[in-house]
Amino acid sequence: MPRGPKGEKRPGDVIGAAVMIGKIATGEIVEGQPETRAAAALGKRVGKARAANLTPEQRSEIAHIAAEARWKKGDR
């Protein structure tokens, strides 16, 4: 599958592109920007700093909410 200018996957033919646009319009797939290495590195630093400032109870509550969201979505 060909790649766009920002690294996103795109169909190689016109009909495939039209189907992809239809899926984006109906919400079947989400079009997004690929994360850069710099953004990923910054996210890791910010996450560690945030975790260091939270109490164990706050971290536990955040983890509990995240786990509920994953189970609700079906990602087990």
* Nearest-angstrom CA–CA distance, 44 and 15: 40
76 has a pLDDT exceeding 60: no
DSSP code string of 8-58: -B--SSHHHHHHHHHHHHHTSS---PPPPHHHHHHHHHHHHHHHHHS-HHH
> What is the per-residue pLDDT across 5-23, written as a single tens digit (0 to 9) for each?
666 677 778 898 898 888 8
At 10 the pLDDT is: 74
How confident is the model at residue 61, as a pLDDT? Answer: 95
Does this model's pTM top 0.75?
A: no
Predicted confidence (pLDDT) per residue in 21-73, tens digit: 888 888 887 776 666 778 888 888 998 898 899 999 999 999 999 999 999 87
